[in-house]
């Protein structure tokens, strides 16, 4: 495994360490998972404007197997408005 050095402000580093500890993992493992998820969802993420909340939140929650972000949003809106499939 190769080593990678990242730079971030002190508060971001503290937050990363707290999040990793809460999930019983390392910052390195957390970063690796983040990158893999971003790479997997790149095609879908390309449709989302870079400055949107959705873009900034990408990768925080895993999608159900076999579902795209569009599927999840569509189902949620249908449920919200009482539309049956």
H or E segment to which residue 22 belongs: helix 10-22
Tell me what pLDDT residue 46 has: 59
Give the whole-angstrom CA distance, residue 70 versus residue 48: 11
pLDDT at 55: 57
Q: What is the pLDDT of residue 21?
A: 92
- Report pTM: 0.47
pLDDT one digit per residue (tens) for the chain, 85 residues: 889 898 989 999 999 999 889 989 999 998 888 888 878 776 555 565 656 665 566 666 678 889 888 888 888 888 888 887 7
pLDDT value at position 68?
Answer: 86
Alpha carbon distance 81, 85 (integer Å): 12
Q: How far apart are CA 4 and CA 16, in angstroms?
A: 16
């Amino acid at each position: 495994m190769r080593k990678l050095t990242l730079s971030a402000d002190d508060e971001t580093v503290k937050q990363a360490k707290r999040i990793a500890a809460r999930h019983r993992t390392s910052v390195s493992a957390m970063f690796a998972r983040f990158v893999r998820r971003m790479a997997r969802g790149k095609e879908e993420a390309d449709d989302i404007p870079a400055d949107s909340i959705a873009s900034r939140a990408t990768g925080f929650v895993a999608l159900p197997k076999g579902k795209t972000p569009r599927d999840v949003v569509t189902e949620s809106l249908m449920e919200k408005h009482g539309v049956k499939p």
